Amino acid sequence: MSLLQMYCRTVRLCTGMMIHRARKYSATTAQFSEKKLSRYFVDYRRVRVVAGSGGNGASTFHSEPRKEWGGPDGGNGGAGGDVIIKVDPRVKSLASVSAVYSGKNGVAGRNKDRCGRSASSTYILVPLGTIIKEGGKTVADLLCHGQMYTAAYGGAGGKGNHFFLSNENRAPITAMPGDRGQERVFQLELRTMAHAGLVGLPNAGKSSLLCAISNARPAVAAYPFTTLKPHVGIVKYRDHEQVAVADIPGLTPDAHLNSGLGISFLRHIEHCRILLYVLDMSSVEPWKQLQQLRFELDQYKMHLSHRPSAIVANKMDLPDAWNNLRALRNQVHQRVIPVSALTGDNIEQLILHLRELYDDYPLDSD
């Protein structure tokens, strides 16, 4: 093989390796982004919890010269740490919950009757409204701040050999190892369907708004009742916070009497902590839409319309919308955000206001 041939072969080999590496890298990038995509609004998590094991008992002997016999003086091991599921008001989704939690192990006993320290508990912080299921059966429903559920108990510490010493039996007995901690698998579910719900009359532009602010692509059409079941979209912020917004089918008069499947739609609204009232500003007296919506909500459940909310004045690109907006602002004493889902005007402001509500909303508003 000539020098030139050897050189060409080496170049081919190196290029091949580089291409292979590039492909491998792009494959991992694709996998990573898919994984990231699957972390959209997590309202379900499977968690394996393993509590800490107890520390072993010590098997030691003292040899006191003044005592007639050298006796066992091994201390007991400390208890293993429990794994506890706890409601934390700062946690708003199950996205931060890991797949596996292991408790801390207790410390082993030592000579001179020194007992090992028991391990502290490990906490899994979850949002208010988390339902804990084991094998499909609900074992706990966390509905209060600070509420806790012991998911796995830590193992008891092993007894040191001194423990087994009695007057009758002076023969030293081997110490016991600590018990293993409990191991269980749970399914965690978040009661809240979405953080915010778009509430409006049919054709107000709720689906169009959801498209404008999130990744969701619900059907949009120029006729009412295009939406027959809620769609959830995710609004993503630069600090990686994600707010889930549901497009709820339009409410009609007497929805609370189940007209137009109203009750099932209202039930979805009940599961949203923030309400965004979407009004069609091309129609006259838009505040009447708001009155009607609030009436339906409160007839269904008292004070439901009192949830943290904002008024989204949609279709601001249409004629008369600005005149109607002035009139609306005279009628209501609440923040009104004029937008156009069609042209995208002022959508950024709506997204920012949604975030303010999300950060401020009281978690125990149910």
Ligand X SMILES: Nc1nc2c(ncn2[C@@H]2O[C@H](COP(=O)(O)OP(=O)(O)OP(=O)(O)O)[C@@H](O)[C@H]2O)c(=O)[nH]1
* 59 near ligand X, judged by CB under 6 A: no
Shorter beta-carbon distance to ligand X: residue 307 or 315: 315
Q: Name the segment binding ligand X (CB under 6 A); options: 165-173, 267-275, 336-344, 355-363.
A: 336-344
CA distance readout (Å), 343 to 292, 315, 316, 318, 339 = 27, 9, 9, 11, 9
Shorter beta-carbon distance to ligand X: residue 85 or 328: 328
Shorter beta-carbon distance to ligand X: residue 249 or 286: 249
What x-and-dash track marks residues 250-279 binding ligand X by CB under 6 A? x-----------------------------
* 302 near ligand X, judged by CB under 6 A: no
Residues in binding contact with ligand X, number by CB under 6 A: 24
Closest listed residue to residue 292, CA positions, set 331, 258, 252, 327? 252
Shorter beta-carbon distance to ligand X: residue 108 or 210: 210
Shorter beta-carbon distance to ligand X: residue 121 or 227: 227
CA distance readout (Å), 85 to 51, 99, 232 = 12, 13, 27
Q: Are 188 and 101 in contact (CB under 8 A)?
A: no
Closest listed residue to residue 307, CA positions, set 190, 195, 143? 195
Q: Which of residues 83-122 bind ligand X (CB under 6 A)?
A: none
Min dist. Cβ of residue 258 to ligand X (A):
17
Min dist. Cβ of residue 12 to ligand X (A):
57
Shorter beta-carbon distance to ligand X: residue 118 or 203: 203
Q: Are 183 and 51 in contact (CB under 8 A)?
A: yes
* 160 near ligand X, judged by CB under 6 A: no
CA 235 – CA 146 distance, rounded (Å): 28
Tell me the Ramachandran region of residue 238: left when phi exceeds 0, alpha when psi lies from -120 to 50, beta otherwise.
Answer: alpha
Give me the amino acid identity at 285.
E
* 182 near ligand X, judged by CB under 6 A: no
Min dist. Cβ of residue 319 to ligand X (A):
10
Among 340, 350, 351, 354, binds ligand X (CB under 6 A): 340
CA 267 – CA 297 distance, rounded (Å): 10
Token match 């889902």: residue? 341
Among 106, 249, 260, 286, binds ligand X (CB under 6 A): 249
Min dist. Cβ of residue 241 to ligand X (A):
25
What x-and-dash track marks residues 188-227 binding ligand X by CB under 6 A? ------------x-xxxxxxx-----------xxx-xxxx
CA 46 to chain centre: 12
Min dist. Cβ of residue 287 to ligand X (A):
18
Length of the chain: 366
Min dist. Cβ of residue 233 to ligand X (A):
12
> What does the DSSP assignment read for 290-357?
HHHHHHHHHHHSTTGGGSSEEEEEE-TTSTTHHHHHHHHHHH--S-EEE--TTT-TTHHHHHHHHHHH
Q: Are 243 and 272 in contact (CB under 8 A)?
A: no
Per-residue 3-state assignment (H helix, E strand, C coil) for 127-166: CCCEEEEECCEEEEEECCCCCEEEEECCCCCCCCHHHHCC
Shorter beta-carbon distance to ligand X: residue 50 or 204: 204
Min dist. Cβ of residue 366 to ligand X (A):
25
CA 335 – CA 337 distance, rounded (Å): 7
* 242 near ligand X, judged by CB under 6 A: no
Q: Which of residues 313-332 bind ligand X (CB under 6 A)?
A: 314-315, 317-318
Residues found near ligand X in the complex (CB under 6 A)? 200, 202-208, 220-222, 224-227, 249-250, 314-315, 317-318, 340-342
